[in-house]
Copies of this chain bind each other. A is one copy, B any other.
């Protein structure tokens, strides 16, 4: 079992989460409905922090709930404690081991606000600190770079949002995700070919917006961890405040642009930077016109925009995996880092 196996395991991991995670999450949602909630505070680091970014858009755009991403060091280093008021506090961590994330959840629980742990390790300190635990049911993740626990985290967030909605439409939409993941895995041959063509890059920019900002962040992290490429992720809106200055002929720009409200503006931006600055584009999209802007990796069509991040990260993972290989690196043994990161 290596990283590539865990990437390929994602359709079954997400299917298991949908089958077995749905009921426990519905019960947690039922408990949360009973309390007035103004804000969802999410504490997470690394890959799990990108799941938190996804939560910000899903709960914001679909449930009209404000999401605040916690700054754990306010508690762990400055020994201060924000008043959580009418919040639910959610900690997300594969290992559930990092003391600073546990610290946020523990503080919230002491204040009496509802707390939820989303973790692949239900016996972990994070799970023990929280009132409710969502088990990711992803099986042991042995590769250092997280893949299947990330898509499981996104699925847990989508399930929780669906459980807080009126009606079953969101749950029905979620049922289509495992098949879309199967289709996304079929990009592997294209991802490998494109990665070989990019083997010489040293840095790049990764763009996404809205729901897909999480994907841009996670793709950039995989590129750093696995392929040692200095990948800088940006929302396409923030990108126009300054980092545009980096662009020059041949500079690699990667983008995730599925169908949805941000697509038209982002396609315009990509066309402009290609035509004006000669950048080298690689676009992950279900839209032919987006992929035709440069090199493309195809997403399956018909996935609702709010669920697409569970799917769109797959070609990005495959590309990062094969870019590492093309650069002579071992994606199962990234340099300098460990599976469980303990930060105060």
Contacts and interface: CB of A to CB of B under 8 A. Distances in A.
Contacts of A238: 45-46, 49
A64 interface: yes
Interface of A: 38-39, 41, 45-47, 49, 56-57, 60-62, 64-69, 71-74, 77-87, 100, 145, 202-203, 209-210, 213, 221, 224-226, 228, 230, 232, 235, 237-238, 240-248, 261-262, 265, 276-277, 334-337, 341, 343-344
B87 A66 contact: yes
B241 A46 contact: yes
A224 B251 CA distance: 14
A201 to B, nearest CB: 11
Most buried by B among A56, A81, A240: A240
A281 to B, nearest CB: 16
The copy count of this chain in the complex is 2
Contact of A337 (B79, B209, B232, B242): B242
Contact of A232 (B145, B210, B230, B343): B230
Nearest to A244: B336
B210 A73 contact: yes
26 contacts: A38-B39, A39-B68, A39-B85, A47-B242, A56-B71, A60-B80, A61-B74, A64-B83, A66-B68, A66-B83, A66-B87, A67-B68, A67-B71, A73-B210, A73-B262, A77-B262, A202-B202, A221-B241, A225-B242, A228-B248, A237-B344, A240-B343, A244-B335, A247-B335, A247-B336, A277-B336
